[in-house]
Amino acid sequence: MSPRQKIQLRETVTGPDPKATPAATLIVLHGLGTDGRDFAPLVNELNLSNVGAVRYVFPDAPLRKVSVNDEPMRAWYDPRPVAPVTGALSTQDEEGLRASQEVVQALIDREAARGVPPEHVVLLGFSQGAVMALMAGLRAPQRLAGLVVLSGYLPLPGTTEAEVHRSNRDVPIFMSHGDQDAVVVPSRAKASRDTLIDLGYDIAWHPYPMGHEVCPQQIRDLNSWLASLLAPWH
Write down the catalytic residue from 165, 212, 221, 234.
212
Give Cα 149 to chain centroid, integer Å.
5
Compute the Cα dihedral for 47, 220, 157, 87 and give only its sign: negative
Full 3-state SS string of 104-151 = HHHHHHHHHHCCCCHHHEEEEEECHHHHHHHHHHHHCCCCCCEEEEEC
What CA–CA distance (Å, rounded) separates 222 from 148? Answer: 8
Write down the catalytic residue from 35, 176, 181, 192.
181
Instruction: Give the bridge partners for 143, in sequence order.
Output: none
* 165 flagged as catalytic: no
Residue 208 near residue 215 (C-beta atoms within 8 A): yes
* 181 flagged as catalytic: yes
Write down the catalytic residue from 93, 120, 127, 176.
127
* 212 flagged as catalytic: yes
Q: Residues with catalytic annotation?
A: 127, 181, 212
